[in-house]
Each structure stands twice: as structure tokens, then as C-alpha cells.
Amino acid sequence: MAEQGSGRLSGGEKALVAVTAVLVLVFAVMLGVRLSGSSGSPSAEARTTTPPTAAAPTTAPPAGEDLSDVTWDFAAPSGNIACAIDDERALCGIADFTYTDEIPAAEKSACDGTVGHFLEVTAEGASLVCDTSGEALTIDASGVPTLSYGQKRTDSGFTCASSESGMTCTHEESGYSFSVRRATYALS
């Protein structure tokens, strides 16, 4: 603790105050989202800016995988987001985004590649995926079917919905999902 009467906080006390303030802010945002009664629509989920570390159903920090050979099943009309669905997961990639500061430092440091360009949902939860390919993500949507705004695609127990506010993919049985758009992402 600070010396009696000095009126100054030590470095450790300042760090404790900062961590406490961040936790209170995260709690307030989560409470606000819960109390707002989010309708579960893609646009409501895409507006959610709760950091992924605060969402209970997220999985552990990404271990990493080479995603350079992903074959896209469909793409958003913008061509900035493309997705693939298989029996295990729905995976989407986003080429251009501005939410880098929202990605938790723990996930960035646990990744031996890049994190933020790929998101997935499985029966166990939704998460960012660490890409260890070493390649910058570009989405060539030529020859890839477009999932127009307002349309959904369901396959292998997953549903992805395209809207003007981004893409939302859900594991139907568990209810886990993610939403992504250029400005933000949400895991639930």
C-alpha cells in the first residue's frame, strides 16, 4: 500500500485500479446487452461490441492452424466475408476489418500467426481462429456463390445469415454463434 499520508499510489496499486476499472466496464457492457433483450437478429448481434474474453461460451485462446487452403462455400455480396461449413464447424474469413483493438491481448500473444481474420463456431463454442499460414487473407469470390443480404444457408447443423450489417453463423443445437463485420465482431 502507499505510505500513510503520501497521497500517491504505487505502480502496483495503479495497475490494480486499472484492472478493476476494465472489469467494471466489461460487466457494465455485458449487463447492458443482457438487459437490452437483444432479439438475436444478425444486426443486433453484429452491433454487440463486448470483447470476446467476456463472453462465457468462448473457447480457449487459439492454438493455430494453417488456413491458406480454405475452400469457401459462399461469400457476402461485399466480397469481404466468405464462409465454409463442414460437419465440425462454420468458419468465416474477413479480409478487411478495423476491430484489431478489440482482440484480447492474450489471444494475440497465444497465436503464432495472425488472429482476427477468421472466426468459427462449433458445438463447443465460438472463437477467433489463429491463422499460422503466414499469408495475408485475400478473398477471391469469383466462382463462389453469393449469400445475398437477408438470405441464410443451413448445412450440417449450422446456419449462416447474411445481412447488410455482416455475417452471423450459429450452431443450431447448442445456440453458440458469432457475428462479424468490418467494424466489429461478437462471440456468443
More confident site: 14 or 133: 133
Residues 30 and 57 in one domain: no
Residues 102 and 69 in one domain: yes
pTM of the model: 0.67
Residues 22 and 84 in one domain: no
Q: What is the pLDDT of residue 8?
A: 73
Indicate if the pLDDT at residue 169 is higher than 60. Answer: yes
Residues 95 and 69 in one domain: yes
Q: What's the total number of domains in the chain? A: 2
For the ranges 2-16, 87-101, 104-118, 125-139, which has the lowest average pLDDT?
Answer: 2-16
Residues 83 and 116 in one domain: yes
Q: What is the pLDDT of residue 33?
A: 53
Residues 28 and 48 in one domain: no
For the ranges 50-64, 130-144, 155-169, which has the lowest average pLDDT?
Answer: 50-64
Q: Which three cell numbers stand for residue 155?
A: 448445412
Residues 15 and 102 in one domain: no
Residues 29 and 66 in one domain: no
Q: Which domain holds residue 91?
A: 42-187
The single-letter code of the amino acid at 64 is: G
Distance CA 168, CA 114 (A): 21
Please provide residue 142's backbone torsions phi and psi, each rounded to the nearest 5 degrees.
-65, 130
Q: What is the pLDDT of residues 39-87, one digit of tens each?
A: 444 433 333 334 444 444 454 544 689 999 999 999 999 999 999 999 9
Residues 14 and 73 in one domain: no
Instruction: Enumerate the β-bridge partners of residue 171.
Output: 158
| DSSP letter (8 states) at residue 134 | -
146 CB-side CA count, 13 A:
11
